[in-house]
Amino acid sequence: DIQMTQSPPSLSASAGDRVTITCRASQSVSRYLNWYQQRPGKAPNLLIYGASSLERGVPSRFSGSGSGTEFTLTITGLQPEDVATYYCQQTYSSPQTFGQGTKVEIK
């Protein structure tokens, strides 16, 4: 199975800050890397697919980059409603696997 490792496990930032989350794959997943936001008690919500494509309806402050084994999710201008846990997911090979999550809080 491909292992997905996210860093950091958690972070605290001020509103308006730029926040970056990293996801590393144990082997290449090409661009088959998706990002989700999960608020407490809710189902995950797709933010980014194919490493860098913004899902319809997702604010443009969210962006993704990378390919192969290293990927980043960036929030440019953190908002209070962005408090959530963020997960990366590889769908390159079965079984698809998720990172362990990054919890984002507001200072």
Partner 1 sequence: QVQLVQSGAEVKKPGASVKVSCKASGYTFTRYDINWVRQAAGQGLEWMGWMNPNSGNTGYKQKFQDRVTMTRDTSINTAYMELASLTSEDTAVYFCATASSGLYSAFDIWGQGTMVTVSS
Question: Which range of residues in 10-18, 19-27, 39-47, 69-77 is near partner 1 by CB under 8 A?
Answer: 39-47
Q: Which amino acid is at 30?
A: S
Q: Is 61 in the site for partner 1 (CB under 8 A)?
A: no
Q: Cβ atoms within 10 A of the Cβ of 25, count?
A: 23
- Asked if 43 touches partner 1 (CB under 8 A), the answer is yes
Residues 9, 102 contacting (CB under 8 angstroms): yes
Answer whether 76's CB lies under 8 Å from 18's CB. Answer: yes
In the complex with partner 1, the residue whose CB is nearer, 18 or 53, is 53
> Which one among 49, 62, 71, 86 touches partner 1, defined by CB under 8 A?
49
Give contact residues for partner 1 (rule: CB under 8 A): 31-34, 36, 43-46, 49-50, 53, 55, 87, 89, 91, 94-101
